[in-house]
Structure 1
Amino acid sequence: MTQLHAPKTSRNQETGRLSFMGSVSPPGSRPIARGGLSRRYARRVSSSGSRSSATPCTFPTVPALKKTVMTVISAALLSVCVANPSGVAAAKDKTDDKQPTPTGQMSTVGGKRLGDVGTQVDLGPGAPVLPKDLSGRSWIVADAENGEVLASHNAHWRLPPASTLKMLFADTVLPALQPKTLTHLVTEEELAGVGEGSSLVGVKEDHTYTVHDLWLGVFLRSGNDAVHVLSEMYGGVPATVSAMQRHAEELQALDTTVVSPDGYDAPNQVSSAYDLTLFARSGMQKADFREYAATATAEFPGEKKKGKKRETFEIQNTNRLITGDVGVDPYKGIAGVKNGYTTHAGNTFTGIAERDGKVLLVTVMNPSSEESHAVYKEAAGLLDWGFAADGKVTPVGELVPPKSAVAGKGSDPAAGADKAERKKHAAASAAAATPGSGGIWTALSIAGGALVVLAAGVFLVNRRWPLPDLVRRLPRR
């Protein structure tokens, strides 16, 4: 049976009853007769409907007509509750549960506590408390360099990511579409799959754009039109989605299911605050990614008109911690990365900032607060907390490295490189002694393996990114 709860009630810890109610028990401790109150304390109602003053009673009496009306109303309400139990559950949620919580088991990638429901933080001596009124369904704040998770809330909850999924898109596709000066003539078919109501930068069919132009459209205006054109250049939307999924798995972002490359709402498309933070961390190790993520404004090619020089128009980054807006100031030290919004996902945001040599990542997903720019304000509050808590909290987990880096973890990168070089030279010698071309391909494949080992070493030891230079180029208001 579903239990109804009245609004604005609280439990009295001492008696276990609702504190807004007076006691309904008669004075003293007396046995109750079968069928209800003992006869000694039974209600006596006069013909006028008033209660007899001679008999103590804690229940008010009700005139017969009112009793009949109330009985009818109660029966009607009961029938509604039985016929529509979901409505009762919804009412209960509004009063008992301030925020929804994950319904299934969450992943424990990065540490057991990251799979626990609710806020995870271990404050040490002198550590500041977390910001008040955090309303994000899921959030995480982590050291971008050593990967320590300073605090989290439902870090592995699988939720719609909106345009923050474009970080994975860029981290997957950006290295393949080079050079940036490469031009492309856009066709009608390439724009046909853009979802209704999508954010657009203004890409036009039968117009030519450079790859650089299109990436500015992705990072600054979150243009789904630019994403679809780049996806077609990469090999088509299905191929891009498959590549993104493989890259997510390589990064150990196992909460993520990719359906559309632009983050547009799609059935079963989900990610998590933890995974989005992994995408940002991986992307920010690429120079082009860092440049685009930190760009505040840029010029974008406009419509081509016959007989006139093609004009440009200014586009501005929609990341309000970079550009600011009414009610939210640019965040000191911010260097990217991506925001998003859809009706299904709500507001989502991943940011990275540097202060006094410390680099932090933060992700906030779907805050329930109705305050303007809540996702940015909560992210900024978590960044402030993270910088103030540096060295004063015990990490509750870690951002794991990619699968390809795990094998080299804890080893000397230089030693690994020497070993790989020895293998390469041995393979090359064997190839020279073997007729045909098969040997050279074997040598190249071993050399490729050496590059993977070297890349793993770089991921683990090269933890200083040139963020301060980017930060100095950002506008200040």
Structure 2
Amino acid sequence: MLLGLLPGLNKAHAEDILNINADAAILVDSETGKILYQKNADKVLGIASMTKIMTEYLLLEAIEEGRVKWDQEYAVSEYVWKVSQDRALSNVPLRRDGSYHIRELYEAMTIYSANGATIAIAETIAGSETNFVKMMNEKAAELGLKDYKFVNSTGLNNRDLKGTPPAGGPEEENVMSAKDTATLAKVLINRFPEVLETASTPKKVFREGTDDKIEMENWNWMLPELVYGYEGVDGLKTGTTDFAGYCFTGTALRDGNRYISVVMNAKGDNGQATYKSRFDETKKMFNYGFSNFTKQEILPENYQVKGQKTVPVVKGKEDKVKIVSKNPIEMIVKNGEKENFKPVLVLDKKKLNEDGELTAPIKKGDKIGYLTIESPEDGKLEFLSEKDKGNIQVDVVAAENVEKANWFVLMMRSIGGFFGDVWGSVSTAVKGWF
């Protein structure tokens, strides 16, 4: 009863149901952005190499817009050469006098989290990493992210960069909330699904057939072919620094349902952080999602809300018009909770007069408003953003034509209305005498 009276406690309880051992975590439906589980999802924390999700987005956008080409060659800068030689970091060493295609640098970044290759991509897109960092922060704002700060393109601590950092202080790192990290992953996957073809590659040889060849094993060990393989996992990005801890943005597809997960500074049950911790905690969330949620039709096409099946009409041959939903409302729902959701009809006030009436003529299919759903239970309908809430809205349209009445009918109605008003006044007066 106390949990019901205190919504804050109820929400906290909901967040603890999986006992995720991480500073922050979130699980969302990739199609609608509906949140299935969250823990400290708005807390701003280090993201380490999960940063590269943004770098991937900006590269794929540049490719799409023709500003960068896959076969474009990059000549290695002194800065990139120095960073790429540090094998204590994740890297494929690049030759000082070398020339590399953008596609192989992209593969090294996405599969092997190669930091030198990542900076090379940043320089290709923006001319310098400093300019690229500005683009990252601007794109984050454009995408509606709220809690973030980018100071480099890789996710490294600035002290690991060779020279003056592109932005921020000498010990700064990139930070973001779990919710914003999931939002960025959702935008990337939905706009550029081809990223998963590379992100799901378990192993690849960089510069195969040359003296510079390097075996690249994907750091995402939840890919089905690797040591902690999980059915359906095909992305997306790990991250590790002393500041951020062990982090992972994962995504998995089963039976047509795709989920996105984020864990930040994951730890084991004993409180110790290990490389495996992030995958164990991610597995908990994926098991929860795939075992307990399914996509269901909440309201069918041509649905009519009880008590609101028609809207009154003026100046028409009929005095009302039937309205229906244009499409069904479908959503990922926890098993057994479909009946918790109730329809909500919202009419377009701009199309109604002050008496709440539509004015004829009305054509079949004209949009009258929209239909959505709500839940009386706290936390059942949370989304990554306000924009995502539109995924559970469908148009409500007129189900039939209502022609405008001709002048004679309108005149007779007006006369009838006049005498009706007069008779009503007389009748009231006469009743008053007695």
TM-score scaled by structure 1?
0.54
- Are residue 131 (structure 1) and residue 18 (structure 2) matched? yes
Change (3 A) 1:353 1:194: same
Alignment check: 8 A CA contact 2:247 2:278 kept:
yes
Report how far residue 116 of structure 1 moved. Answer: 9.2
Report how far residue 312 of structure 1 moved. Answer: 3.3
- Are residue 400 (structure 1) and residue 385 (structure 2) matched? yes
Query: Greater shift after overlay, 387-396 or 360-369?
Result: 387-396
Q: Following superposition of structure 1 onto structure 2, how do residues 201-350 of structure 1 map, counting pairs within 5 Å?
A: 201-234=92-125, 235-266=127-158, 267=172, 269-285=174-190, 286-301=192-207, 312-322=213-223, 328-350=227-249
Q: Provide the C-alpha distance between the structure 1 equivalents of 2:261 and 2:134, rounded to a whole number of angstroms.
A: 27
Alignment check: 8 A CA contact 1:195 1:264 kept:
no
Change (3 A) 1:411 1:243: farther
Report how far residue 275 of structure 1 moved. Answer: 1.0
Q: Provide the C-alpha distance between the structure 1 equivalents of 2:385 and 2:288, rounded to a whole number of angstroms.
A: 22
Q: Provide the C-alpha distance between the structure 2 equivalents of 1:407 and 1:135, rounded to a whole number of angstroms.
A: 32
Q: Provide the C-alpha distance between the structure 1 equivalents of 2:173 and 2:381, rounded to a whole number of angstroms.
A: 29
Which of 59, 72, 95 is the matching residue for 1:173?
59
Q: Following superposition of structure 1 onto structure 2, how do residues 137-176 of structure 1 map, counting pairs within 5 Å?
A: 137-176=23-62
Alignment check: 8 A CA contact 2:85 2:94 kept:
no
SS state at 1:314 partner: strand
Report how far residue 117 of structure 1 moved. Answer: 11
CA RMSD of aligned residues (A): 3.1
Q: Which runs of 5 or more residues in structure 2 are unaligned?
A: 1-6, 159-171, 294-332, 338-378, 396-434
Alignment check: 8 A CA contact 1:120 1:152 kept:
no
Alignment check: 8 A CA contact 1:147 1:399 kept:
yes
Q: Provide the C-alpha distance between the structure 1 equivalents of 2:211 and 2:85, rounded to a whole number of angstroms.
A: 28
Aligned to 1:121: 14
Report how far residue 199 of structure 1 moved. Answer: 1.7
Change (3 A) 1:386 1:130: farther
SS state at 2:119 partner: helix
Q: Identical aligned pairs, as a percentage? A: 25
Q: Provide the C-alpha distance between the structure 2 equivalents of 1:256 and 1:371, rounded to a whole number of angstroms.
A: 24
TM-score scaled by structure 2?
0.59
Aligned to 2:292: 389
Larger Rg: 1
Q: Provide the C-alpha distance between the structure 2 equivalents of 1:371 and 1:166, rounded to a whole number of angstroms.
A: 22
SS state at 2:204 partner: strand
Aligned to 1:18: none
SS state at 1:350 partner: strand
Q: Which runs of 5 or more residues in structure 1 are unaligned?
A: 1-112, 123-128, 304-308, 413-477
Report how far residue 118 of structure 1 moved. Answer: 7.8
Aligned to 1:59: none
Change (3 A) 1:316 1:205: same
Q: Following superposition of structure 1 onto structure 2, how do residues 26-175 of structure 1 map, counting pairs within 5 Å?
A: 119=12, 121=14, 130-132=17-19, 134-175=20-61
State the AA in 1 paired with 2:174.
Answer: Q
CA deviations 1:3-42 (Å, max 9, x no partner) are xxxxxxxxxxxxxxxxxxxxxxxxxxxxxxxxxxxxxxxx
Q: Provide the C-alpha distance between the structure 2 equivalents of 1:141 and 1:240, rounded to a whole number of angstroms.
A: 29
Alignment check: 8 A CA contact 1:163 1:264 kept:
yes
Higher strand share: 2
Change (3 A) 1:401 1:324: farther
Change (3 A) 1:351 1:144: same
Change (3 A) 1:195 1:263: farther
Change (3 A) 1:330 1:401: farther
Report how far residue 251 of structure 1 moved. Answer: 1.8
Q: Provide the C-alpha distance between the structure 2 equivalents of 1:363 and 1:118, rounded to a whole number of angstroms.
A: 19
Alignment check: 8 A CA contact 1:120 1:396 kept:
no
CA deviations 1:423-465 (Å, max 9, x no partner) are xxxxxxxxxxxxxxxxxxxxxxxxxxxxxxxxxxxxxxxxxxx
SS state at 1:320 partner: coil
Give aligned pairs, total: 283
Q: Provide the C-alpha distance between the structure 2 equivalents of 1:371 and 1:162, rounded to a whole number of angstroms.
A: 15
